[in-house]
């Protein structure tokens, strides 16, 4: 079964007719508006609901689920995450868009097409996404995930190309003035 990916969270009720107020990532309005069915996940509980109606209001989505008709029913859902299968989510991606978790396992090549390592995990350190790479000798490197360092990401082929600037993989190359 396809892994479920979170696309929003039920924040509260809206009105008295069973609508939920959902927070979601800005710029993903089309994704939210196209929902037909979602899995609501709260702790270890998962419940699948059909979407009756979706509309946008300010920076939130207002969603009416089939069979959820009262404020009390909505309050039971408050705090639940809206999740959809990864395959459905990926279909909505633009050309240069992917899930950050999909970077793990990618082979890393330098600008000369030489294999330099493999991404083992992704971390956010002080607000900066970092790719953690192991080279063939199992030495660990932290690569800032910015376009200047990582200009090419090919998720389909599990391949990343980096600009191996002085000091990135060999700190001795970095000159201090």
Considering the entire predicted model, what is its pTM? 0.69
> How far apart (Å, rounded) are the C-alpha atoms in residues 163 and 136?
18
User: Could you tell me the two tokens for 166?
Assistant: 């002085």
pLDDT tens digits along 67-80? 999 999 999 999 99
> How far apart (Å, rounded) are the C-alpha atoms in residues 26 and 156?
26
Q: Find out whether 49 and 67 touch, Cβ atoms under 8 Å.
A: yes
pLDDT tens digits along 95-144? 777 888 889 999 999 999 999 999 999 988 888 889 999 999 999 999 99
Q: What angle do CA 175, 176, 177 make, to 5 degrees?
A: 115
């Amino acid at each position: 079964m396809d892994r479920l990916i979170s696309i929003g969270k039920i924040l509260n009720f809206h009105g008295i007719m069973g609508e939920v107020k959902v927070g979601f990532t800005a710029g993903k309005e089309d994704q939210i508006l196209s929902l037909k069915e979602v899995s609501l996940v709260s702790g270890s509980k998962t419940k699948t609901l059909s979407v009756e109606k979706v509309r946008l209001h300010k920076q939130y989505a207002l969603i009416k689920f089939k069979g959820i008709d009262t404020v009390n029913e909505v309050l039971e859902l408050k705090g639940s995450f809206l999740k959809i299968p990864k395959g459905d989510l990926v279909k909505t991606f633009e050309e240069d868009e992917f899930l950050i978790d999909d970077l793990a396992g990618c082979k890393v090549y330098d600008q000369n097409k030489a294999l330099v390592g493999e991404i083992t995990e992704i971390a956010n350190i002080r607000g900066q996404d970092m790719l953690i790479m192991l080279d063939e000798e199992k030495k660990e490197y932290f690569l800032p995930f910015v376009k200047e360092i990582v200009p090419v990401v090919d998720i389909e082929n599990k391949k990343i190309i980096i600009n191996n600037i002085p000091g990135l993989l060999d700190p001795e190359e970095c000159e201090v003035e």
